[in-house]
Chains A and B, each alone.
Chain A
């Protein structure tokens, strides 16, 4: 069974964050910021069973931002969607990696209660994780080296791109040394 990935901000989802006014195990309303819908649809990416495309999807998501930042994400089993009767619609993504775009799907026909149900189940069952800024530089550099992402399509600031180039040149010099 494949997994579903949604980009989030990790600090809104802490399972044990003790917020004085919030009943235990309840959700902070701010998590809904991470589940903003358009036309009642929510953009997600499918991840392989063995998560072999996880880093690639994250690199593509990162390359679509303005700055080389951390990327936080929630990953949960696809079966959760059928458990709460959420429909999936295949739709092409708009990232700079075509293979990742093919993994894109929309969760559709979402009502507000359904979205809340999804939020609750994400908090309870999803793996919430983060790739830090330095890991992101490495992942994006790797995707450029492997020709998955066109460097020209990344809209990061020059200082960020300089860091990516540094990672790429270090990688190239290591490869040359190995040979």
Chain B
């Protein structure tokens, strides 16, 4: 059962929550999407779990630097951004017009921007290479106000039918370095058919487990000092 308070802050694009019991969440119903034929289960977080991720501090409030704008205009902007990306060649570690445009879009328009980006990506009208690059960027940027949406999208990316998209999601989660993604990554390892990608998911899992242990160690040290 999902905490009603969590539900109230759940983004509007989540079409997966069964209103009968607030539990059933299958992406199969989201036909013709990029992530169709996947077994996505959105694991609603309890408040305690969310508290483990300090970056949620601004949840529910837009960043002070975010601007309000007409959403249809923003959607046009996002489409133009993704369309122009198709002609770009992406290289790890190198900024591109697309990556810089996407960072600016998210940091300027915050959660509204993420809502549009998520719809755009799930519409299955975006090239896989571009989606993969977008997920890397989404994991890398520092923008607390959109943290939940970005984490949600990256976890969902692990269930894509495209290996490139799954890879981008995995790199994005490695950037976020949030132990909350451990469970989704464990599921991802189990069903990953590509050995190279499976190996990398395991590597990210190990990284997040180290981070979790580090956080626990710090907490224990602080408590023992008190």
The interface of chain A, by Cβ under 8 A from chain B, is 7, 9-12, 14-18, 30, 33, 36, 62, 65-72, 128, 130, 132-134, 159
Residue from B95, B194, B200, B207 in contact with A66 in the complex, judged by beta carbons closer than 8 Å: B95
Closest 5 CB pairs of A and B: A65-B93, A69-B93, A11-B167, A66-B95, A11-B164
Q: On chain B, which size bracket covers the interface?
A: 20 to 34
* B92/A16 in contact, CB under 8 A: no
CB distance from A22 to the nearest CB of B (A): 12
Contact check, A10 vs B207: say whether CB atoms are below 8 A apart.
no
Q: In the complex the two chains form, is A9's CB within 8 Å of B196's CB?
A: no
Q: Does B168 count as interface, using CB distance less than 8 angstroms?
A: yes
The residue on A at minimum CB distance from B177 is A134
Can you name 17 A-B residue pairings with CB atoms under 8 Å?
A7-B91, A9-B92, A10-B167, A14-B163, A14-B194, A14-B196, A15-B196, A30-B129, A65-B92, A65-B93, A65-B94, A67-B95, A67-B140, A128-B196, A133-B174, A134-B174, A159-B142
- Is B54 part of the contact surface with A, judged by Cβ < 8 Å? no
Q: Which residues of B contact A159 (CB under 8 A)?
A: 142
- B94 partner residues in chain A, CB cutoff 8 A: 65-67
Alpha-carbon distance between A34 and B164 when the two chains are bound, in angstroms? 15
> Which residues of B146-166 have CB atoms within 8 Å of chain A's CB atoms?
163-164
Q: Chain B's nearest CB lies how many Å from the CB of A132?
A: 5
Residue from A9, A16, A30, A65 in contact with B194 in the complex, judged by beta carbons closer than 8 Å: A16
Expressed in whole angstroms, the minimum distance between the Cβ of A147 and any Cβ of chain B is: 23
Query: Whole-angstrom distance between the alpha carbons of A9 and B92 in the complex?
Result: 7
* A contact residues around B203 at 8 Å (CB): 130, 132
B197 at the interface (CB under 8 A from A): yes
A13 and chain B: residue at smallest CB distance:
B196
Partner of B90, one of A9, A18, A68, A128: A9
- Which chain A residue has the least Cβ–Cβ distance from B204? A132
Q: Which B residue sits closest to A11, measured CB to CB?
A: B167
A159 to B93, CA, bound (A): 14
B19 CB-CB contact with A under 8 Å: no
Q: How far is the CA of A36 from the CA of B90 in the complex (A)?
A: 12
CA gap between A15 and B177 in the complex, in Å: 28
Of chain A, the residue at the smallest CB distance from B95 is A66
Q: How far is the CA of A14 from the CA of B142 in the complex (A)?
A: 30
A66 to chain B: which residues have CB within 8 Å? 93-95
B204: A residues at CB distance < 8 A = 132
Residues of A with C-beta under 8 A to B93: 62, 65-71
Cβ distance B140 to chain A, nearest Cβ, rounded Å: 7
Q: A66-B93, A66-B95 are in contact. Are A134 and B207 (CB under 8 A)?
A: yes
- B196 smallest CB distance to A (angstroms): 6
CA A134 to CA B207, docked complex, whole Å: 8
Report the Cα distance A131→B142, complex, angstroms. Answer: 21
Residue contact A71 to B129, C-beta cutoff 8 Å? no
Q: Once the chains are docked, how many angstroms separate the CA of A18 from the CA of B197?
A: 13
Q: Given A15-B196, A130-B200, A159-B142, are A72 and B207 also a contact pair (CB < 8 Å)? A: no
Given contacts A11-B197, A130-B203, A133-B174, 6 further A-B contacts (CB under 8 A): A15-B195, A65-B93, A66-B93, A68-B93, A69-B136, A70-B92
- B193 interface hit (Cβ, 8 Å): yes
User: Does B171 make an interface contact (CB < 8 A)?
Assistant: yes
Contacts of B112 in A (CB 8 A): none
Residues of B close to A62: CB separation below 8 A: 93
Least Cβ–Cβ distance between A37 and chain B, in angstroms: 13
A14 near B197: Cβ-Cβ < 8 Å: yes
CB proximity of B127 to chain A, nearest CB, Å: 10
